[in-house]
Chain A
C-alpha cells in the first residue's frame, strides 16, 4: 500500500456573497512513499497550500481521493473520513506546520510542547522528558523554554512550532512554507531541523517558495504547473 496517494484531487471554494466559485486546484495525482521528502513547487496562488490543507482537512476537499495508510485505521480516504477520525489522526499520525504560531496565550514554550505530548494521553513525567529532548534537539535556546513565545523571533517561533509537531513523532508531517519570512541564517537552521526529521524516518510533504533551499534534501519535487514530479535538483 502506498503511504499517501492523491488521485484526481480537486477543490473549489464557493464564495456566497460574491456568487463566485474558485477552482483552486484540479486533477492532482501523486503519491508519496514512506520516509520520503516531497517538495511542492509552483507560483503563488497555484494551489500548493490548498493541497496540504486538504490533506489535513482544514479545507473540505470535494473531488478525488486522498488515501493515507494509517497505523490505526489502515487505508483511509481523508476526504471522507469522519471528523473524529481526523482528530485522532492529527493527534497521533499527521502533523501540520506553517510559518504561523497559533497557540494558547500566556503559555510557555515548554508547556506548549508538553501539552502536545499530554494530549496523546502520556504521563506528565514522560511529557516533561520528551519536551526537553525535542526542544534541545531542535536547538531552541534553553533560556526561551520557560518564556511566552509572543516575543520570539520568526526563526525561534518556527522551531517551537516544529518541536510541537515533531514531539508527537507524526508519521506524516506537512510543511506549508515554514521558511517564508525567515532570514538566511534561520533558514539554514530550519534546513538542519528538516534533515533531522528526515533522518528520524518522518515522511514529509512541504511547500517552499524557494525550494532550491531544500536542494539535496527533497527526494522528489511536484510541479504545480506541469502537475507532475520533476527530477529533484532539476529546478536549479
Chain B
C-alpha cells in the first residue's frame, strides 16, 4: 500500500538563539529540557518528521512548552524555521520543499491550501472587523472578488459553525470564547483548504462548549474529508478526535502510533507517565 501523504514533514528544526559550541551539534548536545544552559538557545523543535494523510486527523499531544505551537507556526509560515523540509501533495508542487519557496509562493500556499485556527482568537481574527468580514478577508486573499458570492459563502460557513446569521455583522470581540473559535474555524474553512492546523482550539472553553467544538471538527472531517493536525495538551481531546497521534517532549517526538494504542499501551516512559496520571 503506497498512499500519498497530503503533507510530509522531514527533520524540521526550529531554534531560538544562535547556539554555541556546546549545543550546535545535535549529537551529544546536553540540554536542560529544551534549552542550552550555556547560551540559553531554545531548541523548540528537534528533528521532527511525520506524514499527514488525506482525510485524517493527526493528533499532537505534549505538555506546555514541548514545541507544539512552534511546529504549527513553522508549517503555516508564521515562523522562519531553522532547517527541515515539507512537501504537499498538490500537482504543481509535488515533491518540492515548500520552505525553500519564495515568500510570494509561501503566501499563495497559505492562502489556498492551508487553514489555521490559533489557540488565541486574537491571533486569528481581526477583532474589529465583523464576523463575516473576517471570512471575506480570507476569501479575498484566496482570490475572491465577487462580493455577493463571498457573502453567500460566508453565510453558509457561519451557519455550518452555528453562528446565528443575525450576528454576522458583529465584531468577534463581542462574542464568547466558543463563538470566536467557531468564527476562526469558519474562516479557516473558507478557502476550501485541504489542510487545516488547529492549535489548542478548545483550551479554556467550558466543557459543554468544548464538546460542541469537538463535534464540529469531527463533522468537518467526515463531510469535507479535510486533513487536520490537532494540537492539544489534553489527551481527552486527542482521544476524541485523532486517528493517529504524535507525543512531543522538550521539542522532540518521543512516540507515535494509533491513538488508542498510545493511550492503552504507551511505549515511551514519558507517554506512560502522561497516560497513567490520567487513570
Q: Which of A59-115 contact B (CB under 8 A)?
A: 59-60, 73, 82-87, 104-107, 115
Question: Are B267's CB and A60's CB within 8 A?
Answer: yes
In whole angstroms, how far apart are the Cα atoms of A18 and B195 in the complex? 41
**Residues of chain A within 8 A of B260, CB atoms compared:** 58
In whole angstroms, how far apart are the Cα atoms of A99 and B215 in the complex? 24
Which B residue sits closest to A124, measured CB to CB?
Answer: B223
**Residues of chain A within 8 A of B268, CB atoms compared:** 16
Q: Which of A58, A105, A107 contacts B258 (CB under 8 A)?
A: A58
Residue-wise, chain A 128-143 has the 8 Å CB interface mask toward B (1 for contact) of: 0000000000000000
Contact A118-B272, Cβ < 8 Å, known A59-B261, A87-B258, A105-B211: no
Question: Are B1's CB and A15's CB within 8 A?
Answer: no
Any chain A CB within 8 A of the CB of B7?
A: no
Question: Are B265's CB and A60's CB within 8 A?
Answer: yes
**Residues of chain B within 8 A of A119, CB atoms compared:** 222
Any chain B CB within 8 A of the CB of A57?
A: yes
Give the most central of B3, B222, B265: most A CB within 10 Å.
Answer: B265
Q: Which of B1-38 contact A (CB under 8 A)?
A: 1, 3
In whole angstroms, how far apart are the Cα atoms of A84 and B218 in the complex? 18
Which B residue sits closest to A85, measured CB to CB?
Answer: B1
Any chain B CB within 8 A of the CB of A152?
A: no
Closest chain A CB from B225 CB (angstroms):
9
Question: Are A82's CB and B1's CB within 8 A?
Answer: yes
How many chain A residues sit at the interface, stated as a range, is 20 to 34
Closest chain A CB from B207 CB (angstroms):
9
Give the most central of B240, B244, B261: most A CB within 10 Å.
Answer: B261
Q: Which of B239-279 contact A (CB under 8 A)?
A: 240, 243-244, 257-258, 260-261, 264-265, 267-269, 272-273, 276
Any chain A CB within 8 A of the CB of B153?
A: no
**Residues of chain A within 8 A of B215, CB atoms compared:** 104, 106-107
Question: Are B214's CB and A104's CB within 8 A?
Answer: yes
Residue-wise, chain B 196-227 has the 8 Å CB interface mask toward A (1 for contact) of: 00000000000000011011001000100000
Question: Are B222's CB and A118's CB within 8 A?
Answer: yes
Closest chain A CB from B1 CB (angstroms):
6
**Chain B contact residues, majority secondary structure:** helix
Any chain A CB within 8 A of the CB of B53?
A: yes
Q: Which of B222, B257, B264 contacts A83 (CB under 8 A)?
A: B257
**Residues of chain A within 8 A of B273, CB atoms compared:** 16-17
Question: Are B218's CB and A104's CB within 8 A?
Answer: yes
In whole angstroms, how far apart are the Cα atoms of A59 and B265 in the complex? 5
**Residues of chain A within 8 A of B1, CB atoms compared:** 73, 82, 84-85
**Residues of chain B within 8 A of A30, CB atoms compared:** none
Question: Are B272's CB and A16's CB within 8 A?
Answer: yes
Closest chain A CB from B119 CB (angstroms):
22
**Residues of chain B within 8 A of A87, CB atoms compared:** 56, 243-244, 258
Q: Which of B3, B212, B222 contacts A84 (CB under 8 A)?
A: B3
Q: Which of A17, A104, A107, A115 contacts B272 (CB under 8 A)?
A: A17
In whole angstroms, how far apart are the Cα atoms of A17 and B56 in the complex? 33
In whole angstroms, how far apart are the Cα atoms of A171 and B57 in the complex? 25
In whole angstroms, how far apart are the Cα atoms of A104 and B260 in the complex? 15
User: 11 new A-B pairs (CB below 8 Å) besides A53-B264, A59-B264, A87-B244?
Assistant: A13-B265, A59-B265, A60-B257, A60-B265, A82-B1, A87-B243, A104-B215, A105-B211, A106-B211, A106-B212, A118-B222
List A residues at the B interface (Cβ < 8 Å): 13-17, 53, 57-60, 73, 82-87, 104-107, 115, 118-119
List B residues at the A interface (Cβ < 8 Å): 1, 3, 53, 56, 211-212, 214-215, 218, 222, 240, 243-244, 257-258, 260-261, 264-265, 267-269, 272-273, 276
Cβ contacts A to B, 18 pairs, < 8 Å? A13-B265, A15-B272, A16-B272, A57-B258, A57-B261, A58-B261, A59-B265, A60-B257, A60-B265, A84-B1, A84-B56, A87-B244, A87-B258, A104-B218, A105-B211, A106-B211, A106-B215, A119-B222
